[in-house]
Structure 1
């Protein structure tokens, strides 16, 4: 049922992206918070039953989520079509412009590989750690949950750079666009690094949220103290990825993720052949994060940003072929 209504999830994110593109970061953020609150209330009520509302189980939870998305779609659509935004969508006279689809897909298709590779990296590493038992797997899972939380914060930092860099490049101010990218990267590195180092120094409060098993607790503490400080490079890589989105070229950061995946596969295969301990795999994870951050920065540093003629009579679009 939820999958059948997945188009609502996509539409929410599309509308939020349109609003962010106009420079409005407040309303999309409020809608995300509103969505979470509505999902908890509606999903809990319909799933578990409350008062006169019968218990629908998992279909009720899915329905609550879809209703929450529909509410946000209605609010953001009203905001845009009412003229309160900086742009007003017009349905009258609408016609398909394939050149615009090409510009969107040029970034979107490549960007699709980013979450796929990230998920595949986690699956590969989980498979490698399975031989060490449930305690080590639990440690990796607990660390991954912290990474997801920090990735959300990194997203909130990085997404703000997309419209700023896009506008700067569209105006031909390439140097300004690069300053925005590096500033975003430094902020993400410091903020995520600070939070991650706090978790590494004091891992117990986070670990206790998930387990009270002594063996899993010890393995989780060791994992966080080894790996958590390097989550800062995940934040840095996320900032570089969003900056590249604003520049209209995400190939470099996506290839950086490919390199990280290959590094883990090859390094993990070597450690398996050497019957290495779990601690060596923890170090491999930390090293892969450093590699991802460094290569993502290199991608931004060495990719040329600037407007590009797409053919026709001098029409320009955002692309990464030539600084001005």
Structure 2
């Protein structure tokens, strides 16, 4: 009995040390030693990072959900987030390319080239995103109307979407620079940047929305102001950490000089990575528009509420799956192909456990969670239905995310792009349209199409992963 208690205490102490090491960001060689330990060291800060990223939308949703005209405010926030998903696609695609290249160079024990690759990725981000920011600012109202919002809703939400789109470069940099840190195996700095951004947002949201002292009440627009400022502070911390040379990477201003060969390499990896997430994002935009046209303002607000809550649970799983990306990249760089594959399997096991727990929480506490964000009974009813239906595929979502990140970490960004194209555009969208329109299920048809398509995508990803083409990709 004494021996058993001693073992338990030792295991607890070991786990606490591991958690402390992961959050602190101590240096660790992910190409050697225990795979399980490597996954945990990377996954803990990555999960916390994504939890904090998901908090942005929930904080906005909470505060605007308690404004007088909450259905309009919630719809504007939700539709804007759906449009911003294209920006997220750009940001994630670029960060995937940066992670793949940086991780491969770190695995090859060449941190100088890894640092250069990271800085070149930042140059690419600036070049691409300036046009998107200007377009989004000028045509914000038209974008909301195109998404299915009424004219009055679009007019009310125009300042909100203009500020969010104008600050899209900040969103891209926040994702991209964190991708650079993750590729280097320093997920703790990425996590801290989201801490700074989110704490700032939580403090600033009620100030700018409701007013405080000399700051007037901006209402819905205040949420956009607070979020943009919060993210900007996170980016400032990232840039400071890069220039200080914290961790493996030692950045220099000289690395900002454009290197055409390096830029071409990044673009070749990033282009299909961006496309794969654009494909997925456009699918979500179509679904949002379909719900808005078949379910009206309350149907749209209910769906957007459920979607934000689902993303809150999904992003931590995405953070967990990011561990697979770093481990695959670094181990392929070190020529440890079997270890790269084993890392994906271990990460998938953790993901299955996590998403199973999330599904349980969703079904037990779903109505209470939704009630926290809106007091409108009709919005609550639709949101609960959407949450219950979409959460049926949680386990498959989790496995699918691990596989996608494994492909991307290897630099094989085309495989998940084709999977998304067939899964979303040729399956999910037609299925949702048929169920919602032809079979007259309305928004419920859209809700059903989500887990069905995600399950099919997961199965396709598994078979392609087993084929092993990703093991042969050169970066």
TM-score for both structures, normalised by structure 1: 0.81
Q: Is structure 2 residue 427 aligned with structure 1 residue 266?
A: no
Of 258, 274, 280, which residue of structure 2 is paired with 1:118? 280
Say which is worse superposed, 221-230 or 107-116, in terms of deviation: 221-230
Of 285, 296, 304, which residue of structure 1 is paired with 2:469? 304
Q: Is structure 2 residue 254 aligned with structure 1 residue 85?
A: no
Task: Number of aligned residue pairs: give it.
Answer: 309
Q: Distance in 1 between matches of 2:266 and 2:296?
A: 45
Q: Secondary structure at the match of 1:88?
A: coil
**Cα distance, 1:27 vs. partner?**
1.5
Say which is worse superposed, 115-124 or 152-161, in terms of deviation: 115-124
User: Counterpart of 2:360?
Assistant: 197
For structure 2, the residue ranges without an aligned partner over 5 or more in a row are 1-162
Q: Secondary structure at the match of 2:247?
A: coil
Of 411, 416, 426, which residue of structure 2 is paired with 1:248? 411
Q: Distance in 1 between matches of 2:188 and 2:444?
A: 43
Q: What are the within-5 Å matches in structure 2 for residues 158-307 of structure 1?
A: 158-212=321-375, 216-261=379-424, 262-271=426-435, 272-276=437-441, 281-306=446-471
**Cα distance, 1:202 vs. partner?**
4.3
Q: Distance in 1 between matches of 2:367 and 2:186?
A: 39
Q: Distance in 2 between matches of 1:270 and 1:9?
A: 35
User: Counterpart of 1:26?
Assistant: 188
Q: 1:307 to 1:266 in 2, by over 3 A?
A: closer
Given that 1:172 and 1:306 are in contact with CA atoms closer than 8 Å, whether structure 2 keeps it comes out as no
Say which is worse superposed, 20-29 or 276-285, in terms of deviation: 276-285
Q: Which has the higher contact order (CA 8 A, sep 6+)?
A: 2
Q: Per-residue displacement from partner, 1:208-240 (whole Å, max 9, x unpaired)? A: 234455555454444433331212222222222
Q: 1:43 to 1:200 in 2, by over 3 A?
A: closer
Q: Per-residue displacement from partner, 1:289-316 (whole Å, max 9, x unpaired)? A: 21122122233222413465xxxxxxxx
User: Counterpart of 1:55?
Assistant: 216
Q: Distance in 1 between matches of 2:309 and 2:422?
A: 23
Given that 2:410 and 2:470 are in contact with CA atoms closer than 8 Å, whether structure 1 keeps it comes out as yes
Q: 1:30 to 1:198 in 2, by over 3 A?
A: same
Q: Distance in 1 between matches of 2:338 and 2:405?
A: 17
Of 169, 176, 188, which residue of structure 2 is paired with 1:14? 176
More helix by share: 2
Q: Distance in 1 between matches of 2:300 and 2:409?
A: 37
For structure 1, the residue ranges without an aligned partner over 5 or more in a row are 309-316, 319-324
Given that 1:169 and 1:307 are in contact with CA atoms closer than 8 Å, whether structure 2 keeps it comes out as no
Given that 1:81 and 1:89 are in contact with CA atoms closer than 8 Å, whether structure 2 keeps it comes out as yes
Q: Per-residue displacement from partner, 1:240-264 (whole Å, max 9, x unpaired)? A: 2222221001222222222222212
Given that 1:43 and 1:65 are in contact with CA atoms closer than 8 Å, whether structure 2 keeps it comes out as yes
Q: Distance in 2 between matches of 1:238 and 1:184?
A: 10
Q: Per-residue displacement from partner, 1:24-59 (whole Å, max 9, x unpaired)? A: 1112111102101112324544565433x3327377
Q: Distance in 1 between matches of 2:342 and 2:227?
A: 39
